Structure 1
Amino acid sequence: MKHTGKQNMAAVLIAVLLAGCIPMTTATTAYATDATRKKLQEAQNQKSQAQEDLNQTQEDLQNLNQEKDSLQGALNTLNSQLKEVSNNLEELETQIDDKEAEIEQTQEDLAEAKATEELQYESMKKRIQFIYETQDYVMLEMLFASANFSDFLNRSDYIDQLSAYDRKKLQEYTETKEQIQATEKQLEEEKKELDDYKAQVEVEKSRVSGLVGQTSTSIAGKKNEISQAEAEALAYEQSIKEQEENISKLQAQLAEEIRLSQLAAQSAWRDISEVGFAEGDRYLLANLIYCEAGGEGYAGQLAVGSVVINRVLSSVYPDSVVGVIYQGRQFSPVASGRLAIALAEGRATASCYQAADDAMKGNTNVGNCVYFRTPIEGLSGINIGGHVFY
């Protein structure tokens, strides 16, 4: 039987005290409320533990929020860096396009220059060939054909100017070719530098994107942890609320049991000879004994039957076997349905019937005790089999 009949427990125990199960002293009154006091203390301890857990969870939640805010700040910074890198990359790509256009134009100019170079080269080659083959003769002929010395000097000066002109054109051609080649080389180097820098920017962009992804994942993880912590905090808060309600109920129950104990001290008990048992009481009691102590020895079975009959004799409880057994929240086999099954199948043994017969004759091995349960710390009484009777 579970200790669930809270409102009647104190009164019955006081009645037991009056009947001689436990001597009536100030201390014995506590027996009726020991279980409730213990439950009250346990509830208070559970509330304190829940409050500690809630405080720790709230501290963890605060730390998680700080970590999330820090990660969010880092993510914002990384996003700004990523945007800057992307902008730089676009600007560099524009510069590269411009440089490539310049290189293309320079290559066209170079091709044109090479064509001019080829023409100039052919012209100079013929000029040099002419000079090499006939210049000395022509020059001499021009000089000897001078009309006078003044004409000779003029023709000599013309020959010098012609030679200087040839040298000048050759020098210009050479310088133009070298300048175009240098420009082409410079543009190619600039293009390579820009390509290298573009590759570096892409690497940096990839690195920052990776950091953004990692940070976003971390933030998501923190959000999940925060959600779990918030759920735990809510559960602790609900638990504390329930414990507070339970404590209030236990405090009220304790006061009620004390009141019933005082009332039971003044109640009367009948003699067994005054009880008239109804048909079926023996069958009902034997099957209840089977459900509560069927696996124990005869002493344990008689003790269970004695408690039922003691309640029938007490003015605090119903005055019939049926009324006592089916009183609300008193015997667990009734609530669980095990008694109904036992009654339907007639499971009571011969030993259970013997214990029922002896109890109904007024025989008892637990005095006037009206409660029994599995032993718990702080509860005193008569220990028989797997139960303590009080």
Structure 2
Amino acid sequence: MRGARGDNFIVRQIYRLTALMLILVMMFVAEPIQAGATESTKQQLENAKKAKEQSQSELSNTKDDIAEMNEEKSSLQGQLNNLNSQLTEVSNNLEELEEQIDDKETEIENTLAELEAARNQEEEQYASMKKRIQFMYEKQDNMILGMFFGAGSFADFLNQNNYIEQLSAYDRRMFNEYIETRQLIEAKEATLEQERDQLEEYKVKEQAEQSRVSGLVSQTSGSIKQYANDISDAEAKAQALEDQIKSQEADIKKLEAKLAEEMRLSKLAKSSTWRNISEVTFAPGDRALLANLIYCEAGSEPYEGKVAVGAVVINRVLSSVYPDTVVGVIYQNKQFSPVASGRLALALAEDKASAACYQAADEAMKGYSNVGNCVYFRTPVPGLSGINIGGHVFY
């Protein structure tokens, strides 16, 4: 008895190593397997459609953003064109201001020259008046006596007196001219001050005009550049989203085709030829393989769910639509997600299947099925009808 048990143990270990090697070969050589195909095709399809809707919504929002940014950019471009027109006008104004500045500087130079001449004239008039007043103050009495005693007649005296009056009138006129010159100087000085103030005002206005328009042009140009960069980024994002949507559409078509094929095979299996369980020859390691698949697919499910998963595998073995061995069914391309993910290989390597999983495998391998002829199972999704056990629907 011990020798037989030892032989059986060795056989199980050899089978586990063989199964592990077979898994590794299939993972590297066979066509890539999509995880969760059998039990999640509809969920994948639903998720793919939702992802596509989300991408389309994001693309729509991105295109709206691009339209708004293009509109804002166009508005800014219009502002820039207007500013450039203003800048041209400002340039023309600056030329006029520069001419006014040049004219004003010339006027100031002329005013300075006139002021200098007036000041010189004032000095000359002042010196002349000063000498005349000094002369008259010192000689006036002697002149009057000399004129009175020196006159040959009263008529001569009157003539000399008339000369004195003319001389006084001349002095008065000279004094008035001096006053006028003084007033002219004051007026020129006031004019000069005004012209200098106006010149400074022109220069300030010129600088302000230059700074204002140049600043607006720089700011608007920077805004346009930023919008152009944002639009470029948004357009790149939109292109990426469009490419993503095309890829999602291709995935959806593949998933739809895959689901249609699963439903076709399910219907075909139900109407095809079925073998009797007595016609099936199980390999030494089939029990451990099936028990560990049940562990991976329904380890947390109630016992009835474990039996149902095992029944699906055996139903495929019995159907002429699928491979006629447990190994062939479980490792058929793109069928059971634990095969693709490597979970089954790890479970087999450590024989993680529980006693309940082995018991469920035994019942299924005896031909018992609590899901009839169902050959697929998955988590429930809207629109999919079948036999619901635990967290799976069987169809």
TM superposition shift of 1:191: 2.4
Q: Distance in 1 between matches of 2:238 and 2:357?
A: 52
Structure 1 residues 349 and 39 mapped into 2: Cα distance closer, same or farther (>3 Å)? closer
Q: Distance in 2 between matches of 1:338 and 1:225?
A: 46
Cα contact 1:302–1:364 (8 A) shared by 2: yes
Bigger shift: residues 267-276 or 160-169? 160-169
- Tell me if 1:4 matches 2:37: yes
Q: Secondary structure at the match of 2:313?
A: helix
- Tell me if 1:305 matches 2:338: no
Alignment match of 1:294 (pick from 272, 285, 299): 299
Q: What whole-Å deviation, never above 9, does each CA across 1:152-207 have from its counterpart, x for those lacking one?
A: 56545544443333233323222222212212211211322343354355445544
Gaps of 5+ in 1: 10-33
Q: Which amino acid aligns with 2:176?
A: Q
Q: Tell me which residue corresponds to 2:351.
A: 346
**Bigger RCO of structures 1 and 2 (CA < 8 A, at least 6 apart):** 1
Bigger shift: residues 245-254 or 338-347? 245-254
Bigger shift: residues 118-127 or 375-384? 118-127
Structure 1 residues 184 and 94 mapped into 2: Cα distance closer, same or farther (>3 Å)? farther
Bigger shift: residues 262-271 or 324-333? 262-271
Alignment match of 2:336 (pick from 331, 334, 338): 331
Q: Distance in 2 between matches of 1:299 and 1:264?
A: 22
Structure 1 residues 48 and 279 mapped into 2: Cα distance closer, same or farther (>3 Å)? closer
Q: Tell me which residue corresponds to 1:145.
A: 150
**Structure 1 stretches of 4+ moved >6 Å:** 45-53
Q: Secondary structure at the match of 2:393?
A: strand
Cα contact 2:268–2:321 (8 A) shared by 1: no
Alignment match of 2:377 (pick from 344, 360, 372): 372
Cα contact 1:106–1:180 (8 A) shared by 2: no
Q: Distance in 2 between matches of 1:365 and 1:254?
A: 24
Cα contact 1:372–1:389 (8 A) shared by 2: yes
Alignment match of 1:314 (pick from 305, 312, 319): 319
TM superposition shift of 1:244: 4.9
Q: What whole-Å deviation, never above 9, does each CA across 1:47-99 have from its counterpart, x for those lacking one?
A: 78876776665555444423321221112212332443355345435534553
Cα contact 2:296–2:347 (8 A) shared by 1: yes
Bigger shift: residues 378-387 or 232-241? 232-241
TM superposition shift of 1:358: 2.3
Q: Secondary structure at the match of 1:66?
A: helix
Q: Distance in 2 between matches of 1:100 and 1:340?
A: 99
Q: Distance in 1 between matches of 2:347 and 2:174?
A: 130
Gaps of 5+ in 2: 1-33
Cα contact 1:103–1:188 (8 A) shared by 2: no
Q: What whole-Å deviation, never above 9, does each CA across 1:349-380 have from its counterpart, x for those lacking one?
A: 22222222222222222222111111111212
Bigger shift: residues 263-272 or 151-160? 151-160
Cα contact 1:272–1:361 (8 A) shared by 2: yes
TM superposition shift of 1:217: 4.8
Structure 1 residues 117 and 147 mapped into 2: Cα distance closer, same or farther (>3 Å)? same
Q: What whole-Å deviation, never above 9, does each CA across 1:306-364 have from its counterpart, x for those lacking one?
A: 11111111111111111111111100011111111112222122222222222222222
Q: Distance in 1 between matches of 2:350 and 2:256?
A: 42
Q: Tell me which residue corresponds to 2:184.
A: 179
Alignment of 1:239-254 (within 5 A): 240-242=245-247, 244-246=249-251, 248-249=253-254
Q: Tell me which residue corresponds to 1:135.
A: 140
Report the RMSD for the aligned CA atoms in angstroms: 3.8
Q: Distance in 1 between matches of 2:266 and 2:307?
A: 26
Cα contact 2:287–2:362 (8 A) shared by 1: yes
Q: Distance in 1 between matches of 2:294 and 2:71?
A: 63
Q: Secondary structure at the match of 2:173?
A: helix
Q: Tell me which residue corresponds to 1:388.
A: 393
Cα contact 2:303–2:360 (8 A) shared by 1: yes
Q: What whole-Å deviation, never above 9, does each CA across 1:218-241 have from its counterpart, x for those lacking one?
A: 434543553455345435543554
- Tell me if 1:271 matches 2:304: no
Q: Tell me which residue corresponds to 1:282.
A: 287
Identity %: 63
Q: Distance in 2 between matches of 1:115 and 1:332?
A: 114
Structure 1 residues 243 and 309 mapped into 2: Cα distance closer, same or farther (>3 Å)? same
Q: What whole-Å deviation, never above 9, does each CA across 1:249-285 have from its counterpart, x for those lacking one?
A: 5665576567656754653111112111223222222
Q: Distance in 1 between matches of 2:298 and 2:113?
A: 112
Q: Distance in 2 between matches of 1:88 and 1:292?
A: 85
Bigger shift: residues 122-131 or 226-235? 226-235
Bigger shift: residues 148-157 or 343-352? 148-157
Alignment of 1:26-41 (within 5 A): 35=42, 39=45
Q: Tell me which residue corresponds to 2:79.
A: 74
Alignment of 1:175-254 (within 5 A): 175-200=180-205, 202-227=207-232, 229-231=234-236, 233-235=238-240, 237-238=242-243, 240-242=245-247, 244-246=249-251, 248-249=253-254
Alignment match of 2:100 (pick from 88, 95, 99): 95
TM superposition shift of 1:300: 1.8
